[in-house]
Amino acid sequence: MLRYLKYLFIVFLLFNTYIKMNGQSLKNLFPSAISPWEAKEPVRYFDTATLYEYIDGGAELFISYDFKKAASLKYTSEDQPDIVVDIFDMGSPANAFGVFCHVREKTDPHYGQGAQVYDDAIVFWKGPYYISVMAYDITPEVKTALPEMAGTIDERISVTGPLPEILKRLPGSGLEKNSILYFHHYIWQNTLGFLADTNFLPIHSGTDAVLANYIFNKDKQTLLLVEYKNSGDARNALKNFTAAFDLPMKNPVFSRLEDGTWIGALQTASRFVLVFRGKNRKNTEYLIRNFQQQP
């Protein structure tokens, strides 16, 4: 009986958490006003079917990160530009971080779990949420209001979440942290340097992937790490890569491309690692060998 009650209690807690994190609770994250701005219109909600109507041309970015829903509220004030606050529920901290990677140039620690601050906008992520506070013009009042709004929303979000596990596998030496891009849609594989125009590895919703730049004495290397469900898929990725790049099927494989840059790849356990763009083989090898030493 005691075990049964414990079970019920856990179910209640989970349900309660779900309710708090879902649905109309997004509404509670918005401040009603930041003087002199007021929200005179109701909060608008969007899902995967309607996000296109709201974000013309940008919806697919969010959908590629398993977007769940979004809420938007416009704040108006006489003689001041409108401020629009958008809160995206990405379903998981990993996906919220992933979307944030696309705007981050230099991480500002003052909001949520990381922010990008512009003159006319503050964008940050916290827990499963990705938040944008954006003004339609810049005035001295806007410059005061944006931090206040972002700060209020930050305080109202009570949850935080971990970074994607795959990031722990990135070698620390030489890493440009602000270049990290977490994703699981192949469209983003070319973000730091063109690799291929098709999903040749492949990368899909069941895989985790990360891109990052490394610098060793001015030699910039780009690393792609893909974590598959099993070693067979990772092995196939290596095969697909060597075939597409016209390289011998070796593990690891290193080659100097026709422009003088080095490329290297490795399959280890369920992971596929690719390093490219570097001018020095030693650095490419260093990054690849690092993964050979990982459990």
Partner 1 sequence: MKKQETITRRSLIKKSAIAAAGGTLLMNLPVHAFGTENKSTKVVLIRHKDVVGNKGKINADILQDMLDRAVASLTGESTTGKAWSRIIQPGDIVGIKSNVWNRLSTPPGLESAIKRRVQETGVKNGNISINDRGVLTDPVFQKATALINTCPLRTHAWAGLGTLIKNYITFSDNKPSFHPDSCADLATLWEFPQVKGKTRLNILVVLTPLFYGVGPHHFNRKYVWNYNGLLVGFDPVAVDAVGAELIRTKRREFFKEDIPINPPPKHILLADQRYHLGTADLGRIDLVKLGWKENILI
Contact with partner 1 (CB under 8 A): which of 56, 172, 248, 293?
56
The interface with partner 1 within residues 67-86 (CB under 8 A) comprises 86
Half-sphere exposure of residue 26: CA atoms within 13 angstroms, side-chain side: 26
- Residue 141 — left, alpha, or beta (φ > 0 → left; ψ -120 to 50 → alpha)? alpha
116 touching partner 1, by CB under 8 A: yes
**How far, in Å, CA of 230 to CA of 209, rounded?**
14
187 touching partner 1, by CB under 8 A: yes
**How far, in Å, CA of 3 to CA of 49, rounded?**
42
**How far, in Å, CA of 42 to CA of 27, rounded?**
9
**Is 202 within 8 Å of 212 (Cβ atoms)?**
no
| Minimum distance, C-beta of residue 293 to partner 1, in the bound complex (Å) | 27
202 touching partner 1, by CB under 8 A: no
The interface with partner 1 within residues 264-293 (CB under 8 A) comprises 276
Nearer to partner 1, 21 or 87 (CB): 87
245 touching partner 1, by CB under 8 A: yes
Contact with partner 1 (CB under 8 A): which of 1, 78, 197, 217?
197
Nearer to partner 1, 159 or 243 (CB): 243
| Minimum distance, C-beta of residue 200 to partner 1, in the bound complex (Å) | 5
| Minimum distance, C-beta of residue 15 to partner 1, in the bound complex (Å) | 30
102 touching partner 1, by CB under 8 A: yes
Half-sphere exposure of residue 110: CA atoms within 13 angstroms, side-chain side: 13
Find where tokens 């879902």 sit. 22
195 touching partner 1, by CB under 8 A: yes
**Is 30 within 8 Å of 87 (Cβ atoms)?**
yes
| Minimum distance, C-beta of residue 18 to partner 1, in the bound complex (Å) | 25
Residues in the chain, how many?
A: 295
129 touching partner 1, by CB under 8 A: no
103 touching partner 1, by CB under 8 A: yes
141 touching partner 1, by CB under 8 A: no
249 touching partner 1, by CB under 8 A: no
Nearer to partner 1, 216 or 245 (CB): 245
Nearer to partner 1, 61 or 231 (CB): 61
What are the φ/ψ torsions at residue 137 (nearest 5 degrees)? -160, 170
**How far, in Å, CA of 41 to CA of 39, rounded?**
6
Nearer to partner 1, 153 or 195 (CB): 195
**How far, in Å, CA of 128 to CA of 274, rounded?**
29
Contact with partner 1 (CB under 8 A): which of 71, 90, 101, 121?
121
Q: How far is CA 277 from CA 10, 187, 254, in A?
A: 50, 19, 12
**How far, in Å, CA of 251 to CA of 264, rounded?**
9
**Taking the mean position of all CA atoms in its chain, how far away is CA 269?**
24
Residue ranges in contact with partner 1 by CB under 8 A = 52, 55-58, 60-62, 86, 88, 102-103, 105, 116, 118-121, 123, 130, 132, 134, 187-188, 190-191, 193-198, 200, 244-246, 257-259, 263, 276
